[in-house]
Homo-oligomer: A and B are copies of this chain.
Amino acid sequence: MNTKRDKRPRRPRKSVVDRFFARGHSWLTRADSQDVVISSRVRLARNLATHPFPERCTPEKRKEIWDTLRTVVLGLPELEKAISVEMTALTELDKLFLLERHLISRDFMETGEGAGLVALHDGRVSIMVNEEDHVRLQVVLPGLELTSAWEAASRLDDGIDAAVGYAFSSRLGYLTACPSNVGTGMRTSVMVHLPGLVLSQEMEPIVRGLTKIGLTVRGLRGEGSEAAGNIFQISNQVTLGEGEGEIASNLSQIVQEVVEHEVNARMRLWQKNPVILQDHILRAYGVLSHARLLTTKEALDFLSSLRLGVILGILDGVGINDLRKLMEECQPAHLQKAVGRRLSSRERDFERARLVREVLRPEEEAGGATPREVE
């Protein structure tokens, strides 16, 4: 399926253990945010001064807002190649797919006429029109790039504001449907991979510390979700009394500290007994490369261990990006879109396991060939 992956030249194979000990362990010497931070996200909530909040609008008014904003947004130079689609035109499966891509919210799935999405194909920029607010503008960048994400969002924001005029109070800032967003209307968040802190049971004090300074820590799927795959979202809660640039750079600094904690935890685990980490990662590989049924949670958890294995140099040949892509493709709607039809839960587990094996052991799946270690 990923032909780029298959074209990689074959190197002479070494035992996993040999490779494990031969590595220089460069990760021990630096706290690289790229090993820990998956993505950075900035979201702005905005409303037109000329219309009531979406919930107070008639369907006709909402349609009017959608038409106006759609035209304005697609007219921005950065978004001229964006797709735009109304929610009512989408199937349930399509909506779930967009939800799994983090392009729409769960609430947005239920909205009626006049609610629509404008987004770039790569998902870096997306705008929900008539969710809770008229405009929900989101910029997502890989790695720890909150300031760049803020700058990109700010540029787009200025473009829309210039065309439509936002509801703004000199005392309160941007006006939003929910008081928790009033002010900057901004939420910044990063998605971080913290297997070291989870394995060494150090997450609790970290979460407590982050909460104390006004941040929220959640699982992959947002509020109330479990942290499948040891992936967490850290986001700001405070929108009043802080400048937007300040919010982004503050969160960046704090995340950099979390990165250092995570890297230290990995290092301590490694130094205490590398075989425990090695066992953890290779078992995950063993299950992923052999299971015939995998739940989403299992797949994410084990792939998360593989991600750590790649960073530690225990697993080779499969890249961080392959794994990130696989974690996305493993999700229910992604699987069903790929197969082209609705699948039962059991069928999804089967397809998920097949997909994972296809990526981890393409030769075995082709039939006849020898399965191989991730090389």
Instruction: Identify the stretch in A32-40, A247-255, A275-283, A323-331 within 8 Å (CB) of chain B at 4 or more residues.
Output: A275-283
Contact flag A13-B369 (CB < 8 Å), given A283-B291, A287-B287: yes
A370 within 8 A of B: yes
The B-contacting residues of A in range 326-366, CB under 8 angstroms, are: 346, 350, 353, 364-366
- Give A344 Cβ to nearest chain B Cβ, in Å: 12
- Give A322 Cβ to nearest chain B Cβ, in Å: 19
Query: What's the Cα separation between A13 and B365 when bound, in Å?
Result: 12
From B278, B291, B364, B373, give the contact of A15 (CB < 8 A). Answer: B364
A371 within 8 A of B: yes
Contact flag A292-B287 (CB < 8 Å), given A368-B13, A370-B373: no
Query: What's the Cα separation between A369 and B16 when bound, in Å?
Result: 10
Contact flag A371-B372 (CB < 8 Å), given A276-B293, A287-B287: yes
From B18, B278, B286, give the contact of A289 (CB < 8 A). Answer: B286
Q: Return chain B residues, CB-CB under 8 Å to A350.
A: 275
A24 within 8 A of B: no
Query: What's the Cα separation between A12 and B279 when bound, in Å?
Result: 31
Q: Is the CB of A365 within 8 A of B15?
A: yes
| CB nearest neighbor in B for A276 | B293
Q: Return chain B residues, CB-CB under 8 Å to A283.
A: 287, 290-291
- Give A10 Cβ to nearest chain B Cβ, in Å: 10
| Residue positions of A touching B, CB distance < 8 A | 12-18, 273, 275-276, 278-279, 282-283, 285-293, 346, 350, 353, 364-373
